[in-house]
Amino acid sequence: MNILALFAHPDDETMLAGGTLAALAANGHAVHVLLATRGEGGENGEPPVCSLEALGQVRQAEADCAAKILGCQSLAFLDYIDPRIGPGDQLFAFEADFITLTSQIRNAVYSKSIQALITHGSNGEYGHPAHLLVHKAAVAAVQSMPESQPSVYTVQAGYVNHPKPRIMNPNDPAHLVLNISSVLETKIQAAYCHRTQHASFVRRPSQAAGRLLPLRDVILAEESLHRLMPAYQTGTSDPLFDSFPETMKMTVSG
């Protein structure tokens, strides 16, 4: 199966779905990663790993490192510019003509003969405007395809006792919850690639714990998927879901 993992920034592929992508790649599927931006508007590390001017180039290399560790066959960028974080940690979407963006996604699907597209959830995880934009563009791109539409799945789908509710998409009920312990070390090693983002990865969990946590302690060992298109029906077979070993499946619900 040819799979496209479409996300807004470097590290989204790892932190939101790294175990899922690693398991799919390990099972022989061709996983391709497409990122809208190089994350040049994000953090550059504590202490700084690089200058802000060099951040996009560095984060591109970090994404390449992570994609290779996850076993992905290719990594590409849509070359949009990630805007700087605003006052009060205000987040912004990248500037894009929506029709052009959907066309680029559609072309990526056609060029790789994609059968399954995995992307951000309808809530943008924690409401990130860039995540929301990518989600909407992905849906529009697939809907505009007259034939050979890939199935569309969203990450961090909602379920009871989600280990990190802040990044859960409550409007996307989980159709599959995965225990990714078999590929957790792969996900952790991919997260290590994203050096510029390590401080941001551990900040909130460390504040909650009252102590500085190591990176590996904050990497989620559970991931979930919602099948958005075509609508999932309980009891029906799904080629993507069926490709995961039964030992990884924690919950399947309608």
CA distance linking residue 149 with residue 77, whole number of Å: 22
Kindly tell me if the per-residue pLDDT of 72 is higher than 90.
yes
Q: Where are the chain's structural domains? A: 2-251
> In which band, very low, low, confident or very high, does the pLDDT at 254 lie, cut at 50, 70 and 90?
very low
Residue 129 near residue 86, CB atoms below 8 Å: no
Could you tell me the pTM of the whole model?
0.96
Residue 30 and residue 24: Cα distance in Å, rounded? 8
How confident is the model over 135-173, as pLDDT tens digits?
A: 999 999 999 998 889 999 999 999 999 999 999 999 999
* Average pLDDT value for the chain: 96
Q: By C-alpha distance, which of 34, 117, 109, 112 is closest to 79?
A: 34
Percent of the chain with pLDDT over 70: 98
* Fold adopted by 2-251: Rossmann fold (3.40.50)
Distance CA 208, CA 137 (A): 35
